[in-house]
């Protein structure tokens, strides 16, 4: 146990170094680490022309008139703007927990939201429109025609509130506007409620607008700021007043609209080659997450395994409770508790990478504990008794005789867990971790293609897991060969 403890401390120090150093190495270089004042912006960059991804000079950038407003605010404050891209429904928790300083994402200052955060003055007003398939033109002429229909809306948005007011409407609420449009294209919903400025980027021969006049036609957009931060609120309002007096916001809207492009007609191979750097960056983070998740999962699994097999009832209870709790709850729930829950409750702010590593580690540890327990119980009990009769302590016998044999026996199962972790790491993208799935979503939002970016991601996952399976199989054959000598 002392050996395990010593290695645990060494590996903890190692992972802390990696979680700080690796993101710096893999980062695209959009921020300057000069140590000056920073203004952290939270946004959901799939809401063109408010904020969206765009490849400029071969580099992925988040652009839009919301971003231009944020740059003006940062300049007036003498701060460097740092952009955090995440799901729309994660913006308020991120702001409340202090992960971001302000939220700009075309957010409507509803009374419900005002209970949680403060809002700036209104900086833009828009209309709500109904997107439909062009083949359904003439089918939806009034709001009454939408009753009992399947409607797509953005999760946590004012559009969701409007949809909830339609009698009998069956709402599909998703984080990304592009996903909602995909639902419409694939006949999973019959209409989608979006803002007029956002809808403009998706209209084509297949997707059009219904002539319905939506209730609450004028919808305001404001900037979200943490409760009680009056200094930042006053500074933001001052910048907005200046931009309005100079008529700059309307100019920003026009410029952002011009950046919006139609659908990309590249085939899957052209998409992969054009955005290979996106996927390469995602592969780096995915491998880092998976490797550290399994590494710490092995350590946690060994410790919990020893607890489960200990003579002390309290340690057995702790080990059993851990395994049952972790295996009995979804990984997504565990991730939300670690990333948002700890921050809101205890003020512990983990980065997306750190939260991802911790979540994968504790989740993998529960399954590996049972794998190790099966391996240990599979070793002939007589070997432990023989070691004890020769004067070896229980700990030494486990360390030098039982665990090496158990590890060799369960190596295939550990390999399967590694493969599983590589695939399950994709769930970390929901908190803005730049892994393969996150990058696939970015490419989807840039190209407006709903299938090819994810087919590429699937191919990458397959190649990674296939190579890993072959390497593990080779290692297993070498270990078996040593047994036959």
Instruction: Encode pLDDT of 84-125 as tens digits.
Output: 998 888 899 999 988 899 999 989 898 889 999 999 999 998
Q: At residue 308, does pLDDT exceed 50?
A: yes
Which candidate, 104, 43, 73, places its Cα nearest to that of 231?
Answer: 73
Do residues 444 and 306 both lie within one domain? yes
Q: Average model confidence (pLDDT) for the chain?
A: 85
Is 4 inside a domain boundary? no
Both 94 and 241 in a single domain?
Answer: yes
**CA 142/CA 358 separation, integer angstroms:** 50
| pLDDT at residue 205, rounded to an integer | 85
Give the pLDDT score at 209: 93
Is it the case that residue 330 has pLDDT exceeding 50?
Answer: yes
Do 298 and 241 sit in the same domain of this protein?
Answer: no
Q: In this structure, are 322 and 410 located in the same domain?
A: yes
Do 263 and 447 touch, CB atoms closer than 8 A? yes
Largest Cα span, the chain? 89
Contact 339, 350 (CB under 8 A): yes
pTM for the model: 0.74
Of 261, 291, 325, the position where a domain reaches its end is 261
Residue 302 in tokens? 């060994």
Are 448 and 331 found together in one domain? yes
Last residue of a domain, one of 186, 219, 252: 219
In a domain, 51, yes or no: yes
Q: Is 390 helix (H, G, I), strand (E, B) or coil?
A: coil
Would you say residue 435 lies in a domain? Answer: yes
Burial 110-137 (b: 16+ CB within 10 A, else e): eeebeeebbbbeebbebebbbbbbeeee
- CATH number of the domain where residue 457 is located: 1.10.3720.10
Share of the chain above pLDDT 70, in %: 90
Q: What is the pLDDT of residue 82?
A: 94
Q: Is 10 a domain residue?
A: no
236 and 277 fall within a common domain: no
Do 107 and 46 fall into the same domain? yes
At which of 232, 261, 290 does a domain end? Answer: 261
Residues 420-429 pLDDT 10s: 899 989 899 8
For residue 252, being part of any structural domain is answered with: yes
| Domain membership flag for residue 227 | yes
Higher pLDDT, 416 or 359: 359
Identify whether 22 is part of a domain. no
List pLDDT tens digits, range 394-407: 777 777 787 778 87
Structural domains in the chain (count): 3
Q: Indicate if 307 and 378 belong to the same structural domain.
A: yes
Is 228 part of a structural domain of the chain? yes
Q: Is the domain of 404 the same as that of 301? A: yes
336 versus 395: the higher-pLDDT residue is 336
For residues 334 and 429, the model is more confident at: 334
Q: Do 70 and 191 reside in the same domain of the chain?
A: no
Strands 102-103 and 38-43, by their bridges, are parallel
pLDDT at 216 over 70: no
What is the band of 20 on the pLDDT scale with cuts at 50, 70, 90?
very low
Are 154 and 171 spatial neighbours (Cβ–Cβ below 8 Å)? no
Is the domain of 415 the same as that of 275? Answer: yes
Closest CA to 47 of 175, 177, 157: 177
346 in the same domain as 392: yes
Domain limits for position 277 = 270-484
């Amino acid at each position: 146990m002392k050996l395990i403890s010593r290695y645990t401390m060494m590996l903890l120090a190692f992972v802390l170094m990696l979680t700080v150093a690796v993101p710096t190495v893999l980062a695209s270089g959009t921020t300057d680490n000069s140590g000056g004042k920073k203004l952290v912006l939270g946004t959901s960059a799939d809401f063109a022309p408010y904020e969206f991804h765009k490849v400029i000079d071969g580099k992925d950038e988040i652009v839009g008139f919301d971003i231009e407003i944020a740059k003006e605010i940062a300049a007036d404050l003498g701060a460097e703007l740092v952009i955090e891209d995440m799901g729309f429904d994660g913006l308020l928790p991120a702001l409340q927990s202090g992960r971001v300083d302000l939220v700009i994402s075309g957010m409507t200052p509803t009374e419900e939201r005002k209970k949680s955060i403060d809002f700036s003055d209104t900086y833009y007003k828009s209309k709500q429109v109904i997107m439909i398939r062009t083949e359904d033109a003439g089918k939806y002429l009034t709001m009454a025609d939408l009753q009992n229909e399947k409607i797509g809306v953005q999760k946590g948005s004012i559009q969701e509130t409007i949809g909830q007011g339609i009698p009998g409407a069956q709402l599909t609420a998703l984080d990304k506007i592009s996903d909602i449009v995909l639902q419409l294209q694939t006949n999973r919903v019959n209409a989608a409620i979006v803002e007029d400025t956002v809808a403009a980027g998706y209209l084509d021969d297949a997707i059009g607008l219904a002539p319905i006049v939506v209730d609450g036609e004028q919808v305001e957009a404001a900037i979200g700021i943490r409760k009680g931060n009056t200094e930042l609120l006053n500074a933001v309002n001052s910048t907005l007043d200046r931009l309005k007096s100079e008529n700059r916001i309307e100019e920003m809207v026009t410029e952002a609209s011009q950046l919006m492009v139609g659908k990309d007609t590249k085939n899957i191979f052209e998409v992969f080659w054009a955005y290979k750097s996106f996927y390469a960056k995602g592969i780096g983070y995915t491998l880092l997450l998976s490797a550290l998740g399994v590494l710490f999962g092995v350590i946690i699994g060994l410790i919990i395994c020893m607890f489960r097999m200990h003579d002390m009832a309290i340690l057995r209870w702790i080990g059993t409770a851990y395994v049952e709790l972790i295996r009995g709850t979804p990984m997504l729930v565990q991730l939300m508790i670690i990333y948002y829950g700890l921050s809101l409750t205890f003020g512990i702010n983990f980065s997306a990478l750190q939260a991802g590593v911790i979540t994968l580690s504790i989740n993998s540890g529960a399954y590996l504990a049972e794998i190790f327990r099966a391996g240990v119980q599979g070793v002939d009990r007589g070997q432990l008794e023989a070691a004890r009769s020769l004067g070896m302590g229980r700990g030494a016998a486990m360390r030098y005789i039982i665990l090496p044999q158990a590890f060799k026996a369960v190596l295939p199962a550990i390999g399967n867990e590694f493969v599983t972790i590589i695939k399950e790491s994709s769930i970390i993208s929901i908190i803005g971790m730049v892994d393969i799935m996150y990058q696939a979503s970015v490419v989807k939002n840039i190209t407006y293609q709903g299938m090819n970016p994810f087919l590429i991601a699937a191919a990458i996952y397959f190649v990674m897991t296939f190579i890993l399976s072959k390497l593990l199989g080779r290692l297993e054959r070498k270990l078996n060969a040593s047994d036959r000598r």
